[in-house]
Chains A and B, each alone.
Chain A
């Protein structure tokens, strides 16, 4: 594991050095960068609109003339200093305290048994604090990160998914007891990174947050260190990951070079007034690679099946939800803030007519189709679910290529629903792995007669994943497709999407077929003892598709209100 860490650090360092040199090159070449910074500082320190009178300093990177939106006023409130910021940073601090205490408990003899409780305790505490004491909207740490309902929505997803993963890891046979401490530590570090990812509004902070998620993830993928495929997964993850984040950093550095600012709102204003289309397009592509890799969008998805197959099942469950949600969140925040006119309000359009929504639409169709078609041939359930998660990302991206507020809501609705149904399926996969020791579809044969309740709920999760009524998976798909029609754009995507959902049914129902129709090879038909704890996790997760199917209005209202930062 040390080796892996070393490799990852080395490759990261290489990428970092290359790109920091890129930044400095661009910085030198853009002779007006100091002016731009001046402009930005002025911008940050004043909320007035009399930029033009400032004369020469802003003539290239024109300061924005139009009214600052309400949220931006909040964002650029300079009354925040770092100490004050900490008050709004308490959920993150709880997590930090949690992960520090893991180290302590690991050292103290006989205290190991408390690690699990510490982890779950700190997650639950952070969750309760965030829900009960919603902080006021604003920015923290000199405009590095934003606190707003949008990030809160995603933070809830991260906390729920991490909690579930911690709970199912406890009984997993793949996570050995002697590495549990490191495992939980890494999970919490990733969680912290996810929190930052969903709220960063600064190019450097974005990069930092992405890396804070990626590096522990590389190690998590290789956590079963005696397992060859786990090591392979980790190495592949490192190589693909560092390459992608290198490209992303390159793109970010271009943006910095173009605008002279690292604050995404500043970047947007500067681009809007002086953009060079080609430069903008190139940097957009590079950044898309970085984010696309995180959410495993085709054609940057190649790492996904190998990593998901090699990693321990709870880790795979975690990867398939939390970092993806974070990738989606940053994709939305970054692209809607930077690359649209008018900062992504309803009926917005692409900045400088750079037609990136078309690229997203094509990649979305590609992602869905590749994910589904390759899933058809998989024998390994984890690998199948990996491809299925790729196809779901393609489906979510449909909401992203329609530039509207409602479409974003549909995308976020989808990811919220996806969280439960996917984790539900993975929770059952962990359970089956624990009981049969196998990952293949054949190992699921005849499970239904041994564990009827869990199998029944697995069927609900799979039906929801394939998007059939009466489950919330259907509602999510319906909502995304409806927004396509409402905005009357890219309607061909709807046809691709529905054909894909028919294809997906086939492989999801291979699992159902194995569970219900086929008989197990060994004649042992005794019922498997089910731990009451496992049972309730599965039931809790898989019951959700039914609950949100029957009544989903409150969830939708919550999502729409969380998008209020963008609605003018």
Chain B
């Protein structure tokens, strides 16, 4: 059972989507709900499996001697293996993926346009995400990484908003551009390391010894850059971020949740899983630029969010800002202070998890109001098609009309801006603590981000929920039970980890210490 569980986590959604196709062939008349039920059942089972995994997971075991690891040769010629395993770095991501997938099926319950396509593609996407977090063979990792693109393209392009076609192809091209560079880096690692393998555990041993030149550059540096382009586009780090607001805004709510909640984490996860242990020398050399990029992300994302009048776009830019904390925390690995290193790295991974839950709530809540109002404008833009509305506030005074919804939004916004007592605060504080131990000035600038975050969240809250009730909002009913089921578990997690982050740290820190042990001796 233990050796099967990881493969089940990856391939259960594939089986689910095959069952859907079979069901579609049988043609159950008028029973389109059946697809939803299959999808719910599949992701629910996946969530249970992930829970079982969590309960039986021993963070102190390495991948080598973990009972869950499966290693089977796949293609002999290139020494490619089907090698899946789990450690403290992937465990939170697997939990996050399983949880968000399940919640996304719930909030997609109202999808009635081509449900077969939607849910089967969603399950394929789910399989790809799980695969990325569980692969310990670089080739396998790359394949799962790319497998996600195609379902995502269709999910944005068919079920998205007005500019969905453009958003879909832009997302696709950007990510592909990054991942082909990753492919080159991968091939270079394979040949230059001398090991001729994609096994990450072997590469950790041999890759740091690569000593070659190409076109006058150090080979390790070239590999680092090519991998970094791939991961940075996914995170996204600021010059590469322009696909994100578009894709997040145009995607349907559930897909925005997956994009912000899981896909962005993959970039950071890839850096920690692959670039960090394999190229420790370059990590040290690149830490300063990474910290600067992280702070630019924080400030740039937050300032853009302030300027947005579209609620969803604001949330999208807040993601850019929050991923900046992750970069800053990761860069702190070069700190001379061992406490600073651990704060930074633990903070980065915690921020990945916490941002996943918080941003999922934000997108779901924006989706709720969009369902009722069919628009998301905080203020209608001055060139709005309906001239009477241009420049007028889109909402106002929802607090009295939708009290439960308003309460949950307040909770989520405060989690987003990092209120102490909620999970976002802990991880952001850790990232800053880590960052401050090395990059004093940069981190001080970065802390401005907290202020900027507060500005846009509070301003949006004030304009949408406080004040006099907008005439058009009189018909709105409060949040319904389905949406509550989706949001409340996330809120509980956010609150719990805000008060007691120790369970999360317990999982993460052994893995983090391993990564630190690869890099610190060189520093």
Provide the bound-state CA to CA distance between A556 and B157, in Å: 37
Residues from chain B with Cβ under 8 Å of A516 in the complex: 154, 157-158
Contact of B157 among A468, A494, A498, A513 (CB under 8 A): A513
What residue of chain A has the Cβ atom nearest to residue B165's Cβ?
A517
How far, in whole Å, are A392 and B168 apart by their CA atoms in the complex? 25
The docked-state distance in angstroms from the alpha carbon of A556 to that of B76 is 11
B214 touches A491 (CB 8 A): yes
Q: Does A438 contact B (CB under 8 A)?
A: no
B436 interface contact, C-beta 8 A = no
Contact B180 A509 (CB under 8 A): no
Least distance between B175 CB and chain A CB atoms (Å): 10
Complex: A45 Cα to B168 Cα, angstroms: 67
The answer to whether A478 has its CB under 8 Å from any CB of chain B is: yes
Asked if B149 is at the interface (CB within 8 A of a chain A CB), the reply is yes
User: Cα distance A370–B192 when bound, in Å?
Assistant: 31
CA of A552 to CA of B77 in the docked complex: distance in angstroms?
10
Q: Which B residues touch A470, using CB under 8 A?
A: 143, 146-147
- Residues 34-82 (chain B) with a chain A CB within 8 angstroms: 75-78
Q: Known contacts being A481-B187, A491-B214, is A509 close to B172, with CB within 8 Å?
A: yes
B173 cross-chain contacts in A, Cβ below 8 A: 502, 505-506
B142 in contact (CB, < 8 A)? yes
Kindly identify which residue among A491, A492, A498, A553 contacts B75, using a CB–CB cutoff of 8 Å.
Answer: A553
Once the chains bind, are A463 and B183 in contact (CB under 8 Å)? no
Q: Given A481-B187, A505-B172, A498 and B146 touching (CB < 8 A)?
A: no
Query: Does B191 reach chain A (CB closer than 8 Å)?
Result: yes
**Contacts A478-B183, A498-B184, A505-B173 hold; do A468 and B149 have CB atoms under 8 A apart?**
yes
CB of A498 within 8 A of CB of B180, answer: yes
Is A486 touching B177 in the complex (CB atoms < 8 A)? Answer: no
A501 interfacial by beta-carbon distance below 8 Å: yes
Chain B contacts for A556, CB-based, 8 A? 77
Nearest CB in chain B: distance from A375 CB, A: 15
* Minimum Cβ distance to chain A for residue B316 (Å): 22
Q: A485 near B187 (CB under 8 angstroms)?
A: yes
- Roughly how many angstroms separate A513 CA and B168 CA in the complex, as a whole number? 10
Docked complex: B137-183 residues within 8 A CB-CB of A: 142-143, 146-147, 149-150, 153-154, 157-158, 164-165, 168-169, 172-173, 176-177, 180-181, 183
How many angstroms from the CA of A488 to the CA of B194 in the assembled complex?
Answer: 13
Q: Tell me how far the C-beta of A448 lies from the nearest C-beta in chain B, rounded to whole angstroms.
A: 9
Residues of A within 8 A of B187 (CB): 478, 481-482, 485, 494
Given A470-B143, A513-B157, A516-B157, A485:B75 Cβ within 8 A: no
Contact A481 to B190, CB < 8 A, known contacts A502-B177, A513-B157, A553-B77: no
- CB contacts (< 8 Å) of A506 on chain B: these are 169, 173
Within 74-102 of B, Cβ neighbours of A (below 8 Å) are at 75-78
| Contact between chains at A482 and B180 (CB < 8 Å) | no
Say yes or no for A97: interface residue by CB 8 A criterion. no
A494 to chain B: closest residue by CB: B184
Q: Which of B157, B168, B181, B183 has the most CB of A within 10 A?
A: B183
User: Which A residues are in CB contact (< 8 Å) with B150?
Assistant: 459, 463, 468
**A502 B180 Cβ-Cβ under 8 A:** yes
Least CB separation from B181: chain A residue? A498
Min Cβ gap A546→B in Å is: 12
The reply to whether A517 and B158 form a contact with Cβ atoms under 8 Å apart is yes
Minimum CB distance partner of A467 in chain B: B180
Bound Cα distance from A463 to B151, whole angstroms: 12
| CB of A524, distance to nearest CB on chain B (Å) | 19
Closest-CB distance, B207 to chain A (whole angstroms): 15
Task: Tell me if B157 and A517 are in contact (CB < 8 A).
Answer: yes
Residues 43-78 of chain A: 1 if any B CB is under 8 Å from the residue's CB, otherwise 0? 000000000000000000000000000000000000
Secondary structure call for the A interface: helix
A residues in contact with B165, CB < 8 Å? 513, 517
Contact between chains at A486 and B191 (CB < 8 Å): yes
A499 at the binding interface (Cβ < 8 Å): yes
Contact in complex: B158, A501 (CB < 8 Å): no
Across the interface, which residues of A come within 8 angstroms of B458, CB to CB? none
Give the one of A459, A492, A498, A501 with max B CB within 10 A: A498
**Interface assignment of A495: CB less than 8 Å from any CB of chain B:** yes
Bound Cα distance A505, B172 (Å): 9
C-alpha spacing A495/B188, complex, angstroms: 12
B window 335-394: CB within 8 A of A: none
> Whole-angstrom distance between the alpha carbons of A502 and B191 in the complex?
24
Is there contact, CB below 8 Å, between B184 and A481? Answer: yes
Q: Which residue of B lies closest to A492 (CB)?
A: B215
Assembly CA distance A499 to B178 (angstroms) = 10
Contacts of A478 in B (CB 8 A): 183, 187
A486 partner residues in chain B, CB cutoff 8 A: 191
A485 partner residues in chain B, CB cutoff 8 A: 187-188, 190-192
Given A513-B157, A517-B165, A553:B190 Cβ within 8 A: no
A548 to B39, CA, bound (A): 29
Expressed in whole angstroms, the Cα–Cα distance for A463 and B153 within the complex equals: 12
Is the beta-carbon distance between A469 and B146 smaller than 8 angstroms?
yes
Q: How far is the CA of A516 from the CA of B158 in the complex (A)?
A: 7
| Chain A positions within 8 Å of B180 at CB level | 498-499, 501-502
The contact of A509 among B78, B153, B181, B188, by CB within 8 Å, is B153
Does A474 lie at the interface of the complex (its beta carbon under 8 Å from any beta carbon of B)? yes
Closest to A549 in B: B143
Known: A513-B169, A553-B75, A553-B77. Is A469-B191 also a contact (CB below 8 A)? no
- How far does the Cβ of B224 sit from chain A's closest Cβ, in whole Å? 16
B153: chain A residues within 8 A (beta carbon): 509, 512
With A495-B184, A498-B180 as given contacts, are A469 and B143 in contact (CB-CB < 8 Å)?
yes
Q: In chain A, residues 452-511, which have Cβ atoms closer than 8 Å to a Cβ of chain B? A: 459, 463, 468-470, 474, 478, 481-482, 485-486, 488, 491-492, 494-495, 498-499, 501-502, 505-506, 509
CA distance A552 to B214 in the complex (A): 31
Interface residue from A498, A505, A509 paired with B183 (Cβ < 8 Å):
A498
B39 to chain A, nearest CB (A): 19
Closest to B139 in A: A478
* A469 and B158 form a contact (CB under 8 A): no
Shortest B342–chain A CB gap in Å is 36
- CB pair A481–B176 under 8 Å, yes or no, is no
- Contact across chains for B190 and A468 when beta carbons are under 8 A apart: no
**Set of chain A residues within 8 Å of B169, measured between Cβ atoms:** 506, 509, 513
B159 CB to nearest chain A CB (Å): 11
A507-564 at interface with B (beta carbon < 8 Å): 509, 512-513, 516-517, 551-553, 556
Q: How far is the CA of A474 from the CA of B191 in the complex (A)?
A: 19
Residues of B within 8 Å of A517, CB to CB, are 157-158, 164-165, 168
Please indicate the chain B residues that have their CB under 8 angstroms from the CB of A512 in the complex: 153
B146 / chain A contacts, CB cutoff of 8 Å:
468-470, 474
Residue numbers in B under 8 Å from A468 (CB-CB): 146, 149-150, 176
Other-chain residue from B157, B177, B190 in contact with A482 (beta carbon distance below 8 A):
B190
Hey, which chain B residues are within 8 Å of A491, CB to CB? 214
A:114-159 near B, CB below 8 Å: none
Complex Cα distance, B157 from A553, in Å, reads 36
Interfacial chain B residues near A501, Cβ < 8 Å: 180
A358 to chain B, nearest CB (A): 16
Cα separation A512 to B190 with both chains bound (whole Å): 34
A482, B192: Cα distance in complex, Å: 11
CA–CA, A189 and B481, complex, Å: 71
Interface pairs (24), CB distance under 8 Å: A468-B150, A469-B142, A470-B146, A470-B147, A481-B183, A481-B184, A481-B187, A482-B190, A485-B188, A498-B180, A499-B180, A502-B173, A505-B172, A505-B173, A506-B173, A509-B172, A513-B168, A513-B169, A516-B157, A516-B158, A517-B165, A552-B75, A553-B75, A553-B77
Given contacts A459-B150, A485-B191, 4 further A-B contacts (CB under 8 A): A505-B172, A516-B157, A552-B75, A553-B75
* 4 nearest A-B pairs in the assembled complex, by CB-CB distance: A498-B180, A469-B143, A469-B146, A485-B191
- Using a CB–CB cutoff of 8 Å, the interface residues on chain B facing chain A are 75-78, 142-143, 146-147, 149-150, 153-154, 157-158, 164-165, 168-169, 172-173, 176-177, 180-181, 183-184, 187-188, 190-192, 214-215
